[in-house]
Chain A
Amino acid sequence: MSNPQPAMGDLRREGHSDLLLHAGIALAESLDMSETLLRVARLTMGGLADLCTIDLLQDDGSIRLMAHAAADPRLERELQDLRERHRLDPDGEHPVARVIASGEPALLHNERGFGMRQFALGSAHARFMGSAGYNSAIIAPLQARERTLGSLSVLRVGDGSPYDEHEVAVVCELARRAALAIDNSRLFSEVRAVERRLEAILSTMAEAITLVDEHGAVVFANQAAAELADVSCPEELMGMSPEQVTDAFILLDEHGNEVGAREVPRAPLGQDVRRPEPRTLRAVSRATGQERWLMARPARVTDPESGRLIYTVNVYEDITEVKRAQLAESFMAEASRVLASSMDYGETLARVARLAVPRIADWCAIDVLSEAGELQRVAVHHSSPERVRVAMQMDSGYPISRHERVGVAEVVRTGRAIIYESITPGMLAAYARDGEHLKLLQALGGSSMLIVPLAAPTGPVGAITLVSAESGRRLGQVDAALAERLGRRAGTAVESARLYTERARIADTLQAALLPESLPQIPGVQIHALYRAAGELNDVGGDFYDVFELGPGRWLMAIGDVCGKGPRAAGVTALARHTLRTAAMLGASTSGMLATLHEALRRQPQGADLCTVCLVTLEARGEHADLTVALAGHPNPLIIGEGGELTPIGTPGTLLGVLDPISISEVGATLKSGQTLLLYTDGVPEAGRDPDRPGLESMLDREPRVHALDLPALLGTIEERALAQAGGGLRDDIAMLALRLAAPAGGPA
C-alpha cells in the first residue's frame, strides 16, 4: 500500500480532465444522490477502470455499497450479488474498510505474491476475484469537511497496466468532488427535513406567525396567520408586504386610539431594534368589522456571522377572549364605582357614558324613563364634542317617543336587548321622520348598534344605546352581554337613587318639622343654632332644639336628644318638642315641663323611649341675664367666659321615659356680657369616642380658642373639630344652641 500525493498539473497532462469535467457536471446536476453516484461510477468506465464501487459509511457505522459499475455486465451483476450477501466489516482488513477508517487512499497491485484474494469476503468472493482477474486497484476516501464519508474504488482486471501515481491523483480528485456533492446533498436533505418539521410545527400553532425576509416580503405564513388576515390559505400571504397584510385592519391601541402603521412592531424592523417590546393591539377587520385583540411580538433573525438581518419573525397571539374578559371586569368595576359614587344619577350616568366610549363603542347614549313615563336622554357621549352636538341637535329636534315600536322605546317596553349588527342605509331611511332627520342620522355614521335596558328590580327604567361608527367594529353578542351587565347595574343605581331622593325629601320635610324654621329675635341677645344629622341623608335624626318666649322678657331654650333614628325617633322628637311647648303654655316650671314630657313618654304604647333634655330659661337684664337650668339626663350647658374658661351649669337629673321616679333640679346661674352660653347634645363630645378626653372641654380648650369668635364661627369651629375627631363619619347627630348678650353701645371690655 502506498501513499501517493495527487498532482493537479499531471491530471490535465494525462487527459483525465474530461472525466473530471463530466463528473463535475453530473454532480452539479445532482438531484438524487444514488443516481448521481451511479453516474460517477459509470464515468470511470472506458479507460480509468474496469470495475468501480462507491461505498458509504452509514449512520450505524456499517459500510454499504451505494453504486457500482463494471465494463462487463456479467461482472456488474455478480459483484452486486456478492456485496449483497457479504457485508464489509468496517473494522476488518478489507482495503475499503481500511481506507474509510484511515482516510488515506490506497493503491494495490495483485502481483509479487501480494494476493488481493486475501481480502476476499468468502470463497465465492475469492473465486470472483480470480475469475475477474483483479489486477490493480485504487481506493480513495470520500472526504468532506474533514469527515470520511466512504470510499471510491476503481479496479483494473486482466492484463492491463497497473495503476500509477497519476491515476491515484485523478481518482482522489474525483472522490473529493463526489464527497462534496454527497455532503451537500446530505446537508440539503437535513435542512429540508428541519424545514419540514418547523413548517409542520408553525402551521399547527395557534399563534399567527409570519416570516418576512430582508426585502420586506412575507416568505412564510401559517394557517393562523391566514385566518387572522382573513385570507383563505397561507399561500395568499406569500410575497405580500406586512403593510398590505395590516391594511385589512383598523389597528387600535389599548385605549381605543388608532395606531399608525409605522407604530406596529413588525418587519422589516430597523437595524437598531433587536428585541422590541410586545405590544397589545386591537385589530378590527375592515371587511367584517370583527374585532380581535392581539399581542404582537416581533423578533429579528440575523446571520450569526455578519449580523445582517435575514428574517423578521412576527408572532401575533390572539388574546381576544382573555382581553375581553379582563376589559369587561375592569369596565364593570369602574362603572360600579362611578355608579356608587353619587346618588345624582344624571351625573353618574353621564360618567358611565364617558366610560363606555371608546371601550365598548364610539357612541353611548343613555335614556331614562321620567316619573311621567317619558323617555329623557340624560347622557350622550362621543370622543368628539362636535359630533356630540350633532347628536344633541337630533335629540332635541326628534325626541324618542316611548310609543315607538323600535329602538330605545321597544327595549324599554320589553326589557330585552336589541342588536343591530349592521345598520343599512335602508334602515336609517325607514326610521327617519323627515329629510333633516335622515341627514342627522347619517351624520352620526353608525354602522352597528346595540340597545340594552336599564334593568331595575321593578322593571326597565331606561336604556343604554351603544353605537359603533368610525371604529368599524361590529357590535355583537359579547358586547351585548357586557352592556346588559352594565344596564342591570345602572338600572339598579337609578332606582336606588330615585328611592333615596324620595326618602331624602321625606326626611327633609320631617326634619324641618322637628326644628324651628327660624330662631326668634330676643331683644338684647344674639342667638345661633347648628344642626348636623349623622349618617345618611335620609335618616331623620333624634336631636332637637327650640327657642320660644315663656312670658314677657322670659325665654326658654330647649335642646334634647331622643334615642334612636328613623321614623319612630322622629315621632318621639315631635312629641317631645310639642309637649314641652304645651306644658310651657300651661305655665309649668322647667321641671314641671320635664315631668309632663316624662309622663307623655311613659304613656307611649311601645315604651322604653328615652329622651334627654336640657331646658334653660333666660331673662335679659341689660349687662347680664338670669338663667335657670333644668337637666333631664342631658349634658350640662357650658358658660364660656371672656377668657375662654368653661363653667358647666346645672345639676344632673334623670333621663325621661324609662326610670321612675325622675329627679330634676332647677339651678340658677348668671350669664354676663361677653360670656357665651352653649347648649349641646352628646353627639358633640362623643364624636371621637376618645375615652381619655371626655366632654366638650377638650374640643374647646385648644387654639384657636372659640370664645373670641362670633357665634356662627364658634359653632362652625366646634362642628369642624367634632367631625375631625369622628374621622369624617359622625355616629350621632350634632345639635348646638349658643347665645350671648348683645354688646351694649360701649362694647365689651
Chain B
Amino acid sequence: MSATPQGTAPAADRRTSDPRLEVGPTTLRIAQMGENGQLGIEIRREEDRAVVVLGGELDMASAPVLQRALADGQMAHVTAIVLDLRELAFIDSTGLRVVLAAFESSRDRGQDFAVTRGSPQVERLLSITGVAEHLRTIAAPDGALAGEQGQSAA
C-alpha cells in the first residue's frame, strides 16, 4: 500500500476520535500531502464542518486509505463535509467510488456535501462520469457552503 499513516497521526487520532476534547481546529494528517504521487489526506475540523484536503493520487491503491479516514466517527458529528480536491492530481474510478460513498452517507445523515474544483484530470473524470452534476462544487473550502452553488447542468 503506497499511503500509510505517518508522523503524528496517532496523537491526532486520539483527539479526532473524541470531539469533546477538541479546542479549535484539529488536523488529522495522513502522509505528506501528495508526496511522490502518494495520496495525502488532511482532515480539518472547522467549527461544525469537516474539511478533507486531498493531495496526490487517489487510485486503487490509495482509495482504501481515504475510505478508512472518512469512516472516522467524527464525520457523523459535523453538519457539512467539504472535499478539497485542489491538490489532487489524479483520481480513478476506485477513488471516485469512495468519494461517492462519502457523498451518499452524508446525504443519508442530512449533512451538506461539497467539493472544490480539482486538477484537469479530476475535473474531466467528474464531468465524463456525470458526477459533477450531482455534487455541489465550490471555489474554496473557506467559502460559505450555502452561498456558492456548483455548476448544475441537470
Interface residues in chain A, defined as those with a beta carbon under 8 Å from any beta carbon in chain B: 561, 563-565, 608, 610, 612, 631-636, 652-655, 658-659, 662-663, 682, 686, 689, 691-692, 694-695, 731-732
Stretch at the interface among B21-29, B97-105, B109-117, B140-148: B97-105
A680 to B93 CA separation, bound complex (whole angstroms)? 15
Q: Which residues of A contact B129 (CB under 8 A)?
A: 612, 633-634, 652, 654-655
> Once the chains bind, are A654 and B101 in contact (CB under 8 Å)?
no
Does chain A have a CB within 8 A of B151? no
> Once the chains bind, are B92 and A655 in contact (CB under 8 Å)?
no
A564 to B60 CA separation, bound complex (whole angstroms)? 7
Closest 4 CB pairs of A and B: A654-B130, A633-B129, A655-B129, A563-B93
Does chain A have a CB within 8 A of B119? yes
A659 to B101 CA separation, bound complex (whole angstroms)? 10
Of chain B, the residue at the smallest CB distance from A731 is B59
Question: Of A564, A635, A659, A686, which is within 8 A of B131 by CB?
Answer: A659
A709 to B75 CA separation, bound complex (whole angstroms)? 54
Of chain A, the residue at the smallest CB distance from B98 is A608
Of chain B, the residue at the smallest CB distance from A662 is B130
A675 to B11 CA separation, bound complex (whole angstroms)? 61
Does chain A have a CB within 8 A of B73? no
Q: Which residues of A contact B57 (CB under 8 A)?
A: 689
A41 to B90 CA separation, bound complex (whole angstroms)? 110
A686 to B129 CA separation, bound complex (whole angstroms)? 15
- Where chain B touches its partner, the secondary structure class is helix
- 1/0 per residue, CB under 8 A from A, across B120-133: the answer is 11001101111101
> Once the chains bind, are A694 and B104 in contact (CB under 8 Å)?
no
Asked whether A655 and B154 contact (CB < 8 A) given A608-B104, A610-B100, A694-B124, the answer is no
Q: Which residues of B contact A612 (CB under 8 A)?
A: 93, 128-129
> Once the chains bind, are B121 and A691 in contact (CB under 8 Å)?
yes
Asked whether A652 and B128 contact (CB < 8 A) given A563-B94, A563-B96, A691-B89, the answer is yes
> Once the chains bind, are B90 and A691 in contact (CB under 8 Å)?
yes
> Once the chains bind, are B128 and A663 in contact (CB under 8 Å)?
no
Asked whether A658 and B130 contact (CB < 8 A) given A610-B93, A612-B93, A694-B121, the answer is no
A692 to B119 CA separation, bound complex (whole angstroms)? 10
> Once the chains bind, are A663 and B97 in contact (CB under 8 Å)?
no
Asked whether A686 and B92 contact (CB < 8 A) given A633-B130, A658-B104, the answer is yes
> Once the chains bind, are B101 and A608 in contact (CB under 8 Å)?
yes
Question: Of A563, A663, A686, A691, which is within 8 A of B130 by CB?
Answer: A663
Q: Which residues of B contact A652 (CB under 8 A)?
A: 127-130
Does chain A have a CB within 8 A of B15? no
Asked whether A689 and B60 contact (CB < 8 A) given A652-B128, A654-B130, the answer is no
Taking the closest CB of chain A, its distance from the CB of B17, in whole angstroms, is 25
Of chain A, the residue at the smallest CB distance from B100 is A658
Question: Of A632, A634, A663, which is within 8 A of B154 by CB?
Answer: A663
Given contacts A691-B119, A692-B120, 9 further A-B contacts (CB under 8 A): A608-B104, A612-B128, A612-B129, A634-B129, A652-B128, A654-B134, A663-B133, A682-B92, A732-B92
Of chain A, the residue at the smallest CB distance from B89 is A691
Interface residues in chain B, defined as those with a beta carbon under 8 Å from any beta carbon in chain A: 37, 57, 59-60, 89-90, 92-94, 96-97, 100-101, 104, 119-121, 124-125, 127-131, 133-134, 154
Of chain A, the residue at the smallest CB distance from B99 is A658
A658 to B37 CA separation, bound complex (whole angstroms)? 27
A691 to B89 CA separation, bound complex (whole angstroms)? 7
Of chain B, the residue at the smallest CB distance from A569 is B94
Q: Which residues of A contact B97 (CB under 8 A)?
A: 563-564, 608, 610, 658
Of chain A, the residue at the smallest CB distance from B134 is A659
Taking the closest CB of chain B, its distance from the CB of A656, in whole angstroms, is 10
> Once the chains bind, are B93 and A659 in contact (CB under 8 Å)?
no
Asked whether A565 and B154 contact (CB < 8 A) given A653-B130, A655-B131, A691-B119, the answer is no
Taking the closest CB of chain B, its distance from the CB of A22, in whole angstroms, is 99
Q: Which residues of A contact B121 (CB under 8 A)?
A: 686, 689, 691, 694
> Once the chains bind, are A691 and B131 in contact (CB under 8 Å)?
no
Of chain A, the residue at the smallest CB distance from B130 is A654
A694 to B124 CA separation, bound complex (whole angstroms)? 9
Of chain A, the residue at the smallest CB distance from B122 is A691
A134 to B69 CA separation, bound complex (whole angstroms)? 119
A663 to B119 CA separation, bound complex (whole angstroms)? 24
Of chain B, the residue at the smallest CB distance from A611 is B93
A653 to B131 CA separation, bound complex (whole angstroms)? 9
Q: Which residues of B contact A655 (CB under 8 A)?
A: 96, 129-131
Q: Which residues of A contact B154 (CB under 8 A)?
A: 663
A736 to B124 CA separation, bound complex (whole angstroms)? 20
Q: Which residues of A contact B92 (CB under 8 A)?
A: 682, 686, 731-732
Question: Of A561, A654, A694, which is within 8 A of B93 by CB?
Answer: A561
Taking the closest CB of chain A, its distance from the CB of B98, in whole angstroms, is 9
14 contacts between A and B (CB under 8 A): A563-B96, A564-B97, A608-B101, A610-B97, A612-B128, A633-B128, A634-B129, A652-B128, A654-B130, A655-B129, A663-B133, A682-B93, A682-B128, A686-B121
A371 to B71 CA separation, bound complex (whole angstroms)? 45
Of chain B, the residue at the smallest CB distance from A658 is B100
Q: Which residues of A contact B59 (CB under 8 A)?
A: 731
A631 to B128 CA separation, bound complex (whole angstroms)? 9
Taking the closest CB of chain A, its distance from the CB of B57, in whole angstroms, is 7
A175 to B96 CA separation, bound complex (whole angstroms)? 113
> Once the chains bind, are B101 and A694 in contact (CB under 8 Å)?
no
Q: Which residues of A contact B127 (CB under 8 A)?
A: 652
A609 to B128 CA separation, bound complex (whole angstroms)? 17
Q: Which residues of B contact A692 (CB under 8 A)?
A: 120
Of chain B, the residue at the smallest CB distance from A631 is B128
Asked whether A634 and B134 contact (CB < 8 A) given A608-B97, A691-B119, the answer is no
Interface centre among B57, B119, B131, B154 (most CB of A within 10 A): B131
